[in-house]
Amino acid sequence: MSPAQVLDVGPLARLIEVEPGGAAAWAAAVRAADLPGVVDIVPAARTVLVSFLDRAAVAVLTSRLAELDTSAEQWADRLASSRAVIEIPVRYDGEDLDDVARATELDRDEVIARHTASPFRVDFCGFAPGFAYLRGLDEVLWLPRRSTPRTRVPAGSVAIANVHSAVYPGVSPGGWHLLGTTSTRVWDADRDPPALLEPGTEVRFVAT
């Protein structure tokens, strides 16, 4: 898998543009290469930001980029084997469950069945601390964000939007469709690491 483009982000960082769903594999490959002078590696939806200690380290990445094995399948398998599957219990009592059922021409039970059947993997994290974008949503459930976002979404809300599912780590605004709630804390500042769901982690939702 080749990056579409590598962009300068100041003198000591580079942004690698990748194909959809490939950021986790690229981040894992850069991390495994153990390149000198790498300070941080941050995957996003279609990019990986790599920051460096000095200009010499930037040059090393540039020269080694074509050598990295970024097979999404290989890294998905490696990441899965290095982490336990995290099961998240869900009460499917969300405000938007009936709307999602109507929009997808399913009944409530079918929506729940498809959401719990999907094996999800953390694509990247963002928006808020502990907010993980989970790829693997059944295509039938792919819906755009709500036309009118809510000003307040409760912590623990389990939601879907576009190709992702997520758990809201704290109270915040949000425009995703709410399917249910969980008591699982996906962000805890007193935990090490604070984020329960890190890129590459496999997740399954379980109806309670």
Give the CATH number of domain 5-81.
3.30.1360.40
Domain boundaries, the chain: 5-81, 85-207
Q: With beta carbons less than 8 A apart as the criterion, state whether 57 and 37 touch.
A: yes
For the stretch 119-132, pLDDT in tens is: 998 888 888 999 99
What CATH number was assigned to the domain covering residues 85-207? Answer: 2.40.100.10
The band of 4, judged by pLDDT with boundaries at 50, 70 and 90, is low
Query: Which of 135, 85, 92 is CA-nearest to residue 110?
Result: 92
Q: What's the rounded mean pLDDT across residues 159-173?
A: 97
Strand order of the sheet with strand 5-8? 5-8, 13-17, 47-52, 38-43
pLDDT (average), residues 193-208: 92
pTM of the model: 0.78
Q: In this structure, what DSSP letter does residue 24 have?
A: H
CA distance 67 to 176: 39
Residue 28: the pLDDT is 83
